Amino acid sequence: MGIFGNKNTKKQKPTVDVNQPIETLRQGSISLIDLIAPSSVEVDFKHLKVGDKFYRTFFVVDYPRYVSPNWLSSLIDYKQTMNISMFIYPVEEGDVLTNLKRKIAEMEATIESDLQQGTEPDPKIKVSLEDAMALQEELARGVEKFFQFGLYLTISADTLTELDEKTKEINSIASSNMLIFKPATLQMEEGYKTTLPLAQDKLYITRNMDTTSVASTFPFTSYEISHPNGILYGINTLNNSLVIIDRFSFENANEVVFGKSGSGKSFLVKLEVLREALFGTEILIVDPEEEYKTLTHELGGQYISFSPTSEIKINPFALVADDLSPSQLGIKILSLHGLLKTMLGEMSPVQEAILDKAIVLTYKQRGITPDPATYKNEPPILEDLYKALLALGGDEAKDLAFRLDKFITGGFAGLFNQQTNCDIQNQVTVFSLKDVESVLRPIAMHIILDFVWNKVKRRLKKRILVVDEAWYMVKHPDSAAFLQGIVKRARKYYLGVTTITQDIEDFLGNDYGKTILSNSSVQILLKQGMSEADILAKTFLLSEGEKQFLLTSQVGEGLLFAGQNHVTTYFAASDFEYSLVTSKPKDVMEQIENQEQRTGKKNVDDNNEEGRSLSPTNTEAKGTTLQQDIK
């Protein structure tokens, strides 16, 4: 009565669902899941197709009896991208101890029964009994805990054929680690979801493990490269450890540096040169763009400008007077053949024979024969070869002489047609090719490297030879073959050759460049363009993540391969080092302005090295300052 008798005389407002407009908006919008979801999923017995990619999931059914820390590294560091999921389930110790006790009793009974029947117990049962008893004792003492462990991995490929090839590789890696993988046949969808970052084990295929065994599967490893007698290259970007490398500790001391223009190639190599020089290493550099001039003067080195108007000349026909090897003349003639092919272009077999005859005649006219006693005679020059070709007569010889004429009396005269008037005396020697025409640079680099190579062979000493912009030589087969020969033989003479290039397609597009790469223990990849990154990814078998790193890395960052290890590295320099090795126009201008403010003198010529002097003028004081700064 009371309930129905009380009448509410107030007029009530109609209720409004405030969530209705939000739900309406939500129905007409795109969610985050819609954005990241694939356009299609096709499930097959042995694979899964998500969008345009094929996937296959594996689970581990058997593990090795004994493992060591980081034993899964070969699998985790597999060259291709894949998803790996590990699931660890703690198990109640009481249940485990009860089951262990029962299992131990069963195995003991089996062994006792075999002994009573006069048969030898199964060795596997005896081993299992020992393991179970050891685990029982450790669990009882609290030394170990008990877990169930599941390991799954999913590989991907663009085609089914590629997926099958990767499957074979994965099984091979598994076998080397005494693992047994099985594909998740009929459960590919569940397997794929299991290896997604969702923390959902849809397969639940596990193996019993104790604490020590589970700990050994820890997947996050980082490489450290630290040689006791090395120099600092940079900082490992993964763990901030120092990357210290002794390139002479490898099977060869050669190095290649690949990077697009402005990626920091010269900066990196100049840092290495500076630090190696502090340890007494002799440095020889071929510098096409005058990148090393400031550093050379600061180190008290010799900077040789190689140009038609320069007083410094190198005679490609010169012999080493104190080398009494009977084969020296023959080796020099072979070297001249390679040089002259680069200078003169293609030749017919007849012309090659004529050229060989003319070279021998040229030396003979100077009294030089295979007899080492004649090596001290003044060597011929390029003009003598020109005259010898004319003297031989015939259209073929005249054609060669006509091609050679431009280096004798033509527009290129004065560069290669004089006696050698220089020697390598300093710890740091740089040959500048800035004033040499681009078309002549491969020839000039060939002549300089031949001159340097003779110096290297004369006396065994720890040396580094830097060949900047090596693509100039590699694009010509004969000069490329000469550079390749030096790289392959450098190890015998305690020499490390550093090859630098930005033209990766040309460099790796022929066998000579590939051989130089394969004979270099240290390989550094700096920032790349898309096409170059694709080439390097195939050459170095880079993962997709490493390829993206090369595309997005900052100046001074790169992938460093040293022997069997490779790390992402930031090539760091101290402030003082930076002032010596930078070639950025902005930095150079600031240095010049600071110098002018200190001295009160206007530096009219920006290229004047006095204007960029950043350390004491005394060579010994420079070395001391550098050493203190590095320390």
In a domain, 631, yes or no: no
Instruction: Please provide the average confidence, as pLDDT, over all residues in the chain.
Output: 85
**pLDDT of 614 strictly over 70:** no
pLDDT (tens digit per residue) in 456-499: 988 899 999 999 999 899 988 899 999 999 999 999 999 999 99
The string of DSSP letters for 256-319 reads EEE--TTSSHHHHHHHHHHHHHTTT-EEEEEETTS-SHHHHHHTT-EEEE-STT-S----TT--
276: its two tokens: 């190696």
In a domain, 628, yes or no: no
SS3 254: coil
Pair (432, 557) in one structural domain: yes
Q: In 3D, which of 502, 518, 448, 515 has the Cα closest to residue 470?
A: 502
Count up the domains in the chain and report the number.
3
Whole-structure pTM value: 0.69
Residue 140: band (very low, low, confident or very high) from pLDDT cuts 50, 70, 90: confident
Pair (380, 434) in one structural domain: no
Pair (257, 167) in one structural domain: no
In a domain, 587, yes or no: no
* Amino acid 59: pLDDT: 94
Q: Directed axis angle between helix 382-392 and helix 395-404, to 10°?
A: 160
Tokens 């939500």 correspond to what residue? 26
Pair (392, 437) in one structural domain: no
CA distance 339 to 315: 12
* Amino acid 124: pLDDT: 83
In a domain, 108, yes or no: yes
pLDDT (tens digit per residue) in 424-436: 889 999 999 998 8
SS3 127: helix
529 burial class (0-12, 13-18, 19+ CB within 10 angstroms)? Answer: middle
pLDDT (tens digit per residue) in 504-518: 888 988 899 999 999
* Amino acid 218: pLDDT: 80
Pair (133, 65) in one structural domain: yes
Pair (476, 575) in one structural domain: yes
Number of C-alpha atoms within 13 angstroms, CB side, residue 307?
15
SS (H, E, C) 277-290: HCCCCEEEEEECCC
pLDDT (tens digit per residue) in 266-277: 999 999 999 999
Residue 221: band (very low, low, confident or very high) from pLDDT cuts 50, 70, 90: low
Pair (370, 270) in one structural domain: no
* Amino acid 306: pLDDT: 85
Pair (431, 294) in one structural domain: yes
In a domain, 412, yes or no: no
Tokens 């527009």 correspond to what residue? 411
- Tell whether the torsion through CA atoms of 331, 333, 334 and 339 is positive or negative: positive
Last residue of a domain, which of 407, 440, 463? 407
pLDDT (tens digit per residue) in 536-575: 999 998 888 888 999 999 988 999 999 888 889 999 999 9
Pair (576, 448) in one structural domain: yes
In a domain, 2, yes or no: no
Question: Which residues constitute the domain of residue 150?
Answer: 36-215
Pair (153, 42) in one structural domain: yes
In a domain, 384, yes or no: yes
Residue 24: band (very low, low, confident or very high) from pLDDT cuts 50, 70, 90: low
Which residues lie below 8 Å from residue 482, measured CB to CB, with a gap of 6+? 335, 338, 339, 446, 449, 450, 473
Last residue of a domain, which of 377, 407, 437? 407
**pLDDT of 591 strictly over 80:** no
The string of DSSP letters for 57-81 reads EEEEEE--SS--TTTTHHHHT-SS-
Residue ranges of alpha helices (H) inside 376-462 are 382-392, 395-404, 441-458
User: Which DSSP state fits 420?
Assistant: -
Q: Do residues 191 and 54 lie in contact, with contact meaning Cβ atoms separated by under 8 Å?
A: no
Domain at 346, CATH number: 1.10.8.730
Q: Which amino acid is at 120?
A: E
Domain at 540, CATH number: 3.40.50.300
Pair (442, 403) in one structural domain: no
**pLDDT of 158 strictly over 80:** yes
* Amino acid 252: pLDDT: 94
Please state the rounded mean pLDDT for residues 155-170: 93
Residue 8: band (very low, low, confident or very high) from pLDDT cuts 50, 70, 90: very low
Pair (176, 262) in one structural domain: no
| Structure-model confidence comparison of residues 490 and 217, the more confident one | 490
